[in-house]
């Protein structure tokens, strides 16, 4: 079996299963909205339901068409990735890994949207409870030093984008 299909048949399901198992554990063990400190002041396990996309994009009043929209985008992305992967040269090693990570992540978050109408996020990284407070020209801007909660599927997609960026810079 060519390497690219090996990645697709093993890496994507591993990402998907790890994502779903960790989300199930969080749903079973942590009440929604609660947190468990892993590295106090820096990393918590939380139970958050994200109805939007990355950083909560479109989480607001779009409820009627939000899930079908996100599932449609996911389906288009999956078809595109599979088409590109099929055309990927047999000697290529990094791109099949990248695409397999993305596919596993899309399937993990897609199943959440289909079953729950939202994605379970549970890893929260922050800098203690610090807040940046900026004031300029009569305007005040304050925001906490934290990254929005994420999950295994998000992490796989992020790692794949870092690898893709490295691949593009390396082949330049």
What are the sequence ranges of the domains in the chain?
A: 3-171
Q: What is the pTM of this model?
A: 0.87
**For residue 110, which of 5, 6, 12 has the smallest C-alpha distance?**
12
Q: Residue for token digits 């989300």?
A: 23
Tell me, yes or no, if 19 is annotated catalytic.
Answer: no
Tell me, yes or no, if 121 is annotated catalytic.
Answer: yes
Which residue ranges in the chain fall short of pLDDT 50?
none
What tens digit of pLDDT does each residue of 62-107 get? 667 788 888 999 999 999 999 999 999 989 999 999 999 999 999 9
- At residue 32, the pLDDT reads 96
- At residue 58, the pLDDT reads 72
- C-alpha pair distances (Å), 14 with each of 30, 82, 91, 117, 118: 24, 17, 23, 23, 21
Question: Annotated catalytic residue: which of 44, 121, 129, 133?
Answer: 121
- At residue 45, the pLDDT reads 97
CB contact at 8 A, 55 and 149: no
- At residue 1, the pLDDT reads 87
């Amino acid at each position: 079996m060519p390497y690219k299909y090996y990645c697709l048949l093993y890496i994507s399901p591993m990402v998907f299963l790890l994502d779903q198992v960790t989300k199930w554990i969080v749903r079973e063990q942590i009440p929604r909205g609660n947190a468990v400190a892993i590295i106090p002041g820096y990393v918590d396990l939380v139970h958050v339901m994200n109805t939007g996309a990355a950083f909560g994009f479109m989480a607001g009043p779009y409820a009627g068409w939000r899930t079908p929209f996100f599932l449609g985008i996911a389906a288009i992305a999956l078809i595109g990735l599979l088409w590109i992967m099929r055309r990927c040269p047999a000697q290529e090693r990094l791109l099949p890994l990248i695409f397999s990570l993305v596919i596993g992540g899309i399937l993990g978050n897609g199943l959440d949207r289909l079953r729950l109408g939202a994605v379970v996020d549970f890893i929260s990284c922050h800098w203690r409870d610090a807040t940046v407070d900026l004031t300029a020209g009569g305007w005040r801007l304050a925001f906490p030093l934290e990254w929005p909660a994420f999950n295994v599927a998000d992490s796989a997609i992020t790692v794949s984008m870092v690898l893709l960026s490295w691949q593009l810079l390396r082949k330049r």
